[in-house]
Amino acid sequence: APRAPGKKITARLKRTLPVRGPQAPTLSELMRWYCLNTNTHGCRRIVVSRGRLRRLLWILLTLSAVGLILWQCAELLMNYYSASVSVTVQFQKLPFPAVTICNINPYKYSAMKEYLSELDKETKKALETFYGFSEGKSKVRRSVDDWNSTGSNFFQHIPLLKVEDFSRTATDLHSGQKRKIEGSVFHKDSSIVNSGDSNDIIGFQLCDANNSSECALYTFSSGVNAIQEWYKLHYMNIMAQIPLETKEKLSYSADDLLLTCFFDGLSCDKRHFTRFHHPLHGNCYTFNSGDNGTILSTSTGGSEYGLQVVLYIDEADYNPFLVTSSGAKIIVHDQNEYPFIEDIGTEIETAAATSIGMHFTRSRKLSKPYSDCTETGADIPVENLYNKSYSLQICLHSCFQKAMVDSCGCAQYAQPLPAGAEYCNYKKNPNWMYCYYRLHEKFVKEQLGCQQICKDACSFKEWALTTSIAQWPSTVSEDWMLRVLSWDKGQKLNKKLNKTDLANLMVFYKDLNERFISENPANTLVILLSNFGGQLGLWMSCSVVCVIEIVEVFFIDSLSIVLRRQWQKAKKWWRDRQRGGSGKAPRAGDPERQGHDNPACIDEDLPTFTTALRLPLPQDSPLPRTPPPNYSTLRLETAFTEQLPDTVELGQ
């Protein structure tokens, strides 16, 4: 009893929704039916056309339309991930960027004396030996004596060499003896070896400490470069051993560097600046770094409303070998960006007013799959050593530092330390210089793979700078200006500042127009479908319904016809076998044969819609009893269901 309603419902369903087989008994009939009844244009023409040529023409046309649709749709799909660029300009209150200011000289030379005296002596000695330059004879002689007394110094290991190219022998700075050069020669300045005319090349040799036969000689076309590079190498070695706190003390304080400060028409002072220690530039000061949680903004453009500072550049306290230019370096950057001052800083001249007009542009690219950029850098397998937001520079530097730690065992001085590593110095890592130079060369030649791993950031801010210089202070205002600035600095009144120790800097927005360049997806799914629809409709007046029809007819129905035939064949074969080889059954008995009862009677000229409309049915005749033969070929479901109950499962 409980099952009765269920059964009833199924029975009812079966009765009201009877399952029928495919639209036609055979494949060709099915095709014909499809062509006549489909919604797409073209197919019908094939069937109803008279004459072979016309039919062929229509087949070709239909096929080419299908081909065109496929081609165009493929094109649409391939161009789906394209971006269009839009530029908007907005006039608004703009956040002022962070401005990082450094003295070009990193540390006060007077304070560094105790660390660098040995190195300076060595450098002076080299200058005298190779170029005959001396500041004062007595001084140098004393320094030579000093060196002789402390013979255990490491400068000895990497001395400057004078190379005679032809004989491939080098003169050592200390021993003065000539020795044969082995190993490869690297020319740092150019890859082309100087030909003949100057055979005195200065350089230095770096050897693998574990394997002394592996050496590389670095030569330079000019002694200026050679000595600076050599000095820098040793300098980094020394600095790596000094702790950060000491280094910060050795460098300039905010009071030392900044004489006056003026922002947005109001006075500012050192509290607006954040100290930032840069390994190569010492103490730098960042204005508006956003560390205290607020970012200053400007609501008026123009030089009066920007940042105006007067910097004190103590030129007398410069390191003569490390930096050869004087002035300051500044960089305009976003608060979240790390200032790569050594790479992209702008130099500021002394005794001049440098006016820097800014124009702000913000750009945004679309990330995957539109372009190969990264939003946050989280998907890059390189650890960000800097405590700032991702940029390509950060990635490259971090990548190099990682490679350095991996292969040399210590970290390079100019970049931050990875966890658990320490800076290279000669005492602990005697091999590091050779290793560093080798690695650096690989890096430059893109052999480390850093350039492949690192991607550019998707969004970035850019401040386009227009820099111009005026004389400052002017000749007539020089006198009072220097006096007042000396008073500001709190110096003794008799000692006036020199104007070559001062630099005036103005950083301001030229206008408050922010340009925002952004990429937008050129296509959305809606537009893609519209385009598909347009293509399908244009060539064949087709729609998704047609696609479903095609699936229905060409896949489900055809498959069921084929399967049914196979099934019947198998069944027949089985029956024949059961009968015990009583011979083949007459072919006329095939059920599908009966479907084609009157193949000859098919009317070639089918009634079209209009003719059918106009054709009046005979009024006197009752409901037609005998169906016209051609329709019977289309509708033979009843016969099929009776004869082939097995197709019920197959048809559905």
What residues numbered 141-160 form the site for other proteins, per CB under 8 A?
none
Q: Report, in Å, the least distance between residue 429 CB and other proteins.
A: 44
Taking the C-alpha atoms of residue 329 and residue 319, their distance in angstroms, rounded to an integer, is: 16
DSSP-derived 3-state class of residue 466: strand
Q: Which stretch binds other proteins (CB under 8 A): 82-90, 105-113, 314-322, 432-440?
A: 82-90
Residue with Cβ nearer other proteins (211 or 541) = 541
Q: What six digits make up the tokens of 96?
A: 């002022």
Residue with Cβ nearer other proteins (276 or 509) = 509
Q: Report, in Å, the least distance between residue 598 CB and other proteins.
A: 14
Taking the C-alpha atoms of residue 105 and residue 327, their distance in angstroms, rounded to an integer, is: 8
Q: Report, in Å, the least distance between residue 308 CB and other proteins.
A: 8
Taking the C-alpha atoms of residue 418 and residue 413, their distance in angstroms, rounded to an integer, is: 11
Q: What six digits make up the tokens of 488?
A: 């500001």
Select from 389, 398, 395, 422 the least CA-distant residue to 408.
Answer: 422
- Token pair 């033979």 is found at 636
Q: Which of 91, 133, 555, 574 binds other proteins (CB under 8 A)?
A: 91
91 in Cβ contact with 512 (< 8 Å): yes
Half-sphere exposure of 244 (CA within 13 A, CB side): 11
Q: Which stretch binds other proteins (CB under 8 A): 16-24, 52-60, 243-251, 455-463?
A: 16-24
Taking the C-alpha atoms of residue 170 and residue 216, their distance in angstroms, rounded to an integer, is: 13
Residue 4 found at the interface with other proteins (CB under 8 A): no
Q: What angle do CA 336, 337, 342 make, to 5 degrees?
A: 150
Binding to other proteins, residues 567-586 (CB under 8 A)? none
Residue 9 found at the interface with other proteins (CB under 8 A): no
Q: Which residues pair with 518 in a beta bridge?
A: 86, 364
Q: Which stretch binds other proteins (CB under 8 A): 116-124, 161-169, 206-214, 349-357?
A: 349-357
Residue 490 found at the interface with other proteins (CB under 8 A): yes
Binding to other proteins, residues 285-324 (CB under 8 A)? 299-304, 308, 310
Distances from the Cα of 389 to the Cαs of 279, 435, 461, in angstroms?
19, 30, 12
Q: What six digits make up the tokens of 292?
A: 């205290």
Read off the DSSP letter of residue 65.
Answer: H
Q: Which of 170, 227, 405, 485 binds other proteins (CB under 8 A)?
A: 485
Taking the C-alpha atoms of residue 543 and residue 540, their distance in angstroms, rounded to an integer, is: 9
Binding to other proteins, residues 202-231 (CB under 8 A)? none
Which 3-state string (H, E, C) describes 263-305? ECCEECCHHHEEEEEECCCEEEEEECCCCCCCCCEECCCCHHH
Taking the C-alpha atoms of residue 143 and residue 124, their distance in angstroms, rounded to an integer, is: 9
The contact mask relative to other proteins for 407-436 (x = CB under 8 A, - = no) is: ------------------------------
Q: What six digits make up the tokens of 547?
A: 């696609």
Taking the C-alpha atoms of residue 605 and residue 499, their distance in angstroms, rounded to an integer, is: 106
Residue with Cβ nearer other proteins (282 or 301) = 301
Q: Which of 45, 188, 275, 510 binds other proteins (CB under 8 A)?
A: 510
Residue with Cβ nearer other proteins (148 or 619) = 619
Q: Which stretch binds other proteins (CB under 8 A): 151-159, 213-221, 437-445, 520-528?
A: 520-528
Taking the C-alpha atoms of residue 530 and residue 537, their distance in angstroms, rounded to an integer, is: 10
Bond into 591 cis (ω within 30) = no
- Token pair 């991996």 is found at 406
Residue 67 found at the interface with other proteins (CB under 8 A): no
Taking the C-alpha atoms of residue 447 and residue 453, their distance in angstroms, rounded to an integer, is: 12
Q: Which of 7, 137, 492, 495 binds other proteins (CB under 8 A)?
A: 492
Q: Report, in Å, the least distance between residue 95 CB and other proteins.
A: 14
Q: Which stretch binds other proteins (CB under 8 A): 45-53, 173-181, 424-432, 485-493?
A: 485-493
Q: What angle do CA 449, 460, 358 make, to 5 degrees?
A: 125
Select from 232, 311, 298 the least CA-distant residue to 266.
Answer: 298
Residue with Cβ nearer other proteins (469 or 602) = 469
Binding to other proteins, residues 17-36 (CB under 8 A)? 17-20
Residue 488 found at the interface with other proteins (CB under 8 A): yes
Q: Report, in Å, the least distance between residue 315 CB and other proteins.
A: 20
Binding to other proteins, residues 465-484 (CB under 8 A)? 466-477, 479-481, 483-484
User: Which segments within 413-569 are labelled E, that is strand?
Assistant: 459-471, 502-509, 513-521
Q: Which of 87, 570, 585, 601 binds other proteins (CB under 8 A)?
A: 87
Residue with Cβ nearer other proteins (92 or 292) = 92
DSSP-derived 3-state class of residue 486: helix
Q: How far is CA 391 from the centre of its chain?
A: 9
Q: What six digits make up the tokens of 635?
A: 């509708």
Q: Which of 307, 352, 382, 457 binds other proteins (CB under 8 A)?
A: 352
Q: What six digits make up the tokens of 165?
A: 């190219």
Q: Report, in Å, the least distance between residue 326 CB and other proteins.
A: 17
Q: Which of 10, 64, 79, 86 binds other proteins (CB under 8 A)?
A: 86
Binding to other proteins, residues 241-280 (CB under 8 A)? 259-262, 265-269
Residue with Cβ nearer other proteins (35 or 158) = 35
Q: How far is CA 97 from the centre of its chain?
A: 24
Residue 496 found at the interface with other proteins (CB under 8 A): no
Total residues in contact with other proteins, by rule CB under 8 A: 108
Binding to other proteins, residues 589-648 (CB under 8 A)? 607, 612-617, 619, 623-625, 627-628, 631-632, 635, 637-638
Q: Which stretch binds other proteins (CB under 8 A): 158-166, 207-215, 450-458, 486-494?
A: 486-494
Residue with Cβ nearer other proteins (39 or 447) = 39
Q: Report, in Å, the least distance between residue 637 CB and other proteins.
A: 8
Residue 82 found at the interface with other proteins (CB under 8 A): no
Binding to other proteins, residues 35-54 (CB under 8 A)? 37, 39
Binding to other proteins, residues 447-466 (CB under 8 A)? 464, 466
Q: Which of 53, 192, 419, 526 binds other proteins (CB under 8 A)?
A: 526
DSSP-derived 3-state class of residue 347: strand
Q: How far is CA 194 from the centre of its chain?
A: 40
Taking the C-alpha atoms of residue 158 and residue 145, their distance in angstroms, rounded to an integer, is: 20
Q: Which of 92, 198, 211, 325 binds other proteins (CB under 8 A)?
A: 92
Residue with Cβ nearer other proteins (223 or 473) = 473
